[in-house]
């Protein structure tokens, strides 16, 4: 597929996901192994690979653009890579000027399985890197609406509370998983907060 076809497919996928249809996007493989109160799922994820870059906070547009350039040919093979979901944002909350807080960490796109099998192309941007992830057990809480900072913090607190009540220990800080573009109708959005767990 050439660049024009790639962009047409990408635009069509984006338009479909704006109304909550995201079946065209590949997602990482996982199995739900347990359900906890409040809609929390314990999921076992298969090993996967991501392309990631540093992010200065939630919704860092520059980080997103660096990753998008990678999948649209900013790699040594000049290869077009299909968009996947979710877009993951990781990191720890850091205090900035009050009352603002941001998440300093990474933004990630999951690489399609076929791309990983064929050998993921090397990024040309030194700020972008390929990272293999091992199999993981994640606790995940899904929610809809706009993923504002306040909404995300509330869901993270809820997730951690449920885990504490279940006697499960989180490993690190929660991450945000976004499945939809900004224009998606809020009530159709799929957002998730997730954290690795032991037990």
Q: What is the mean pLDDT of residues 146-158?
A: 94
- Determine contact, residues 164/141, Cβ cutoff 8 Å: no
pLDDT tens sequence across 23-46: 678 999 999 999 999 999 999 999
What mean pLDDT, rounded, does the chain reach?
A: 87
The pLDDT assigned to 198 comes to: 86
By CB neighbour count within 10 A (0-12 exposed, 13-18 middle, 19+ buried), where does 110 fall?
Answer: buried
Q: Bigger pLDDT: 182 or 5? A: 182
Q: What percent of the chain has pLDDT over 70?
A: 81
The pLDDT tens digits for 86-107 are 999 987 544 444 343 344 689 9
Rounded distance between C-alpha atoms, residue 105 and residue 89, angstroms: 7
Region 49-66 average pLDDT = 90
Alpha-carbon gap, residue 87 to 181, rounded angstroms: 10
Summarised one tens digit per residue, pLDDT across range 9-24 is 566 656 565 555 656 7
C-alpha to C-alpha distance for 64 and 101, rounded to whole angstroms: 19
Give the least confident one: 4-8, 39-43, 109-113, 174-178: 4-8
Q: What is the DSSP string of 35-80?
A: E-GGGEEEEEEPPEEEEEEEESSTT-HHHHHHHHHHHBT-BTT--B
pTM: 0.84
pLDDT score recorded for residue 164:
97
The token pair that represents 145 in the structure block: 């609406």
**How far, in Å, are 12, 62, 119 from residue 53 at the CA level?**
26, 10, 19
What's the token pair of residue 144? Answer: 């809809």
Tokens for 16, please give them: 């479909």
CA 24 to mean position of chain CA atoms = 16
């Amino acid at each position: 597929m050439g660049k024009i076809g790639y962009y047409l497919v990408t635009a069509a996928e984006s338009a479909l996901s704006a109304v909550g249809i995201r079946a065209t996007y590949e997602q990482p493989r996982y199995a739900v192994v347990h359900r906890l109160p409040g809609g929390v799922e314990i999921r076992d994820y298969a090993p996967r690979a991501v392309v990631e870059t540093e992010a200065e906070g939630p919704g860092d547009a520059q980080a997103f653009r660096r990753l998008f350039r990678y999948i649209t040919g900013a790699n040594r093979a000049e290869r077009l890579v299909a968009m996947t979901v979710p877009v993951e944002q990781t990191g720890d909350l850091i205090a900035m000027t009050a009352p603002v807080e941001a998440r300093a960490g990474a933004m990630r796109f999951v690489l399609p399985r076929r791309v990983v099998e064929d050998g993921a192309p090397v990024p040309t941007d030194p700020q972008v890197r390929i990272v293999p992830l091992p199999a993981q057990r994640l606790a995940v809480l899904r929610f809809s609406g706009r993923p504002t900072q306040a909404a995300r913090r509330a869901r993270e607190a809820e997730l951690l509370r449920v885990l504490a009540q279940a006697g499960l220990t989180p490993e690190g800080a929660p991450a945000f998983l976004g499945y939809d573009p900004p224009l998606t109708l809020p009530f159709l959005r799929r957002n998730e907060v997730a954290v690795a767990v032991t037990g």
